[in-house]
Structure 1
């Protein structure tokens, strides 16, 4: 297998009645461990990374190693951008092959946040990309 869209992966799982695990990775070592474990369990996998993860491990490294591991283990694997905060960041990573994104504009006023989420939705073709956005307040600022 290779890196695929989480949208298709989740639709298939829903239709067949099984769950797909998603793990936030923090470096290349955690990427390797979760992929090897998913392969052992014969499970498709979503690996998610925050902006800090991609900054630390490197976009190219994550995509290359995830792709190599997915092929080695014949494993359906999706990479998800988790809580990314800018359209430019998402655009560059989608152009590099990422197919699942979550924009987090919760630190903006509601109207600005909705506009940011809409800009991501408008940018991504819905047929191949999984999209999500956070419109509520940050977890640390709930009143």
Structure 2
């Protein structure tokens, strides 16, 4: 179809009470697995690129891989910068053809976060690009993001209203208990739905974003560990919690860790069971298939976003 912004996606998601999956990409097989899944269930899609992915795969390669995905599929795709940490990085991605960027100023003080976010918004909107920002701090580790549990803070609802009004952002990532990485909870998983509902009521029809929302699917954790991995005690966000969040104005749910676990688990299994094989097309192909099936499950059973075009 086309490379699009998230504006229309989010409008339909908000009205329909479902969320759009935002999947982090690092190489060809991950992109193909995600896009093939979205095509099979006729779902729009957000492919997002972190600073770490840009360093690993190089911006030009990732952009062309996404362009190839559009040619090869019939789904609308938004290309999004995940956790941009400066105006300069956001500007570079906008100039490179991204349709959506996130400026993450959560490490800044409140007024500085507003100042830089507004600068990003002004440049992005002038180029037809939408902006996501973050208010509050999620704990956990993912690529360039590293926040301790002690430094994590939940989003203040009244502050969220002021932030959106003063910056003009198009969507807002909030902190209600999710976290980055494979170790999201110690003890019982819990999300602050009361806080989420209050933010949604104060910002009607405004798209909310959840970061750190992988479910850390047990079967892939077990597969990794069975075939030589060492990932004890990993725990993600239960699927029913994410389905409930989508009913409170959450229009975008970020998924990265589950992609990594699916790819790694499938590759580990293949290499252990086929020790004489050294053809990367074989084991990477297994990883791509695992990602495709996992993403289909996410879109249909967790996000509720199939057949919405």
TM-score w.r.t. length of structure 2: 0.43
Of stretches 89-98 and 9-18 in structure 1, the one that deviates more from structure 2 is 9-18
Shift of 1:85: 0.3
Distance, in Å, in 2 between the alignment partners of 1:138 and 1:69 is 31
1:118 corresponds to which residue? 118
Aligned partners of 1:28 and 1:57 also within 8 Å: no
Say if 1:16 and 1:109 are closer, same or farther in 2 by CA, change over 3 A.
closer
* Aligned partners of 1:114 and 1:135 also within 8 Å: no
2-structure distance, mates of 1:65, 1:76: 15
C-alpha RMSD of the superposition: 2.2
The Cα of 1:15 is off from its aligned counterpart by: 4.8
Structure of higher CA gyration radius? 2
CA distance in 2, matches of 1:108, 1:127: 26
Tell me the SS of whatever aligns to 2:66.
Answer: helix
Partners of 2:26 and 2:66 in 1: CA distance? 13
Which residue number in structure 2 is paired with residue 142 of structure 1?
152
Q: Is the 8 A contact 1:101 1:131 kept in 2?
A: yes
Matches within 5 A, 1:1-143: 1-15=1-15, 19-125=19-125, 128-137=128-137, 139=139, 140=148, 141-142=151-152
Deviation at 1:118, TM superposition (A): 1.3
How many residue pairs get aligned? The number is 143
Gaps of 5+ in 1: none
Q: CA deviation digits over 1:37-86, x for unaligned, max 9?
A: 11111111101121111221121111111111112112211111111101
Give the match for residue 172 of structure 2.
Answer: none
Cα distance between partner residues in 2 of 1:39 and 1:67: 15
Measure the CA separation in 1 of the matches of 2:152 and 2:116.
21
> What 5-or-longer segments of structure 2 have no aligned partner?
140-147, 154-309
TM-score norm. by structure 1 comes to 0.86
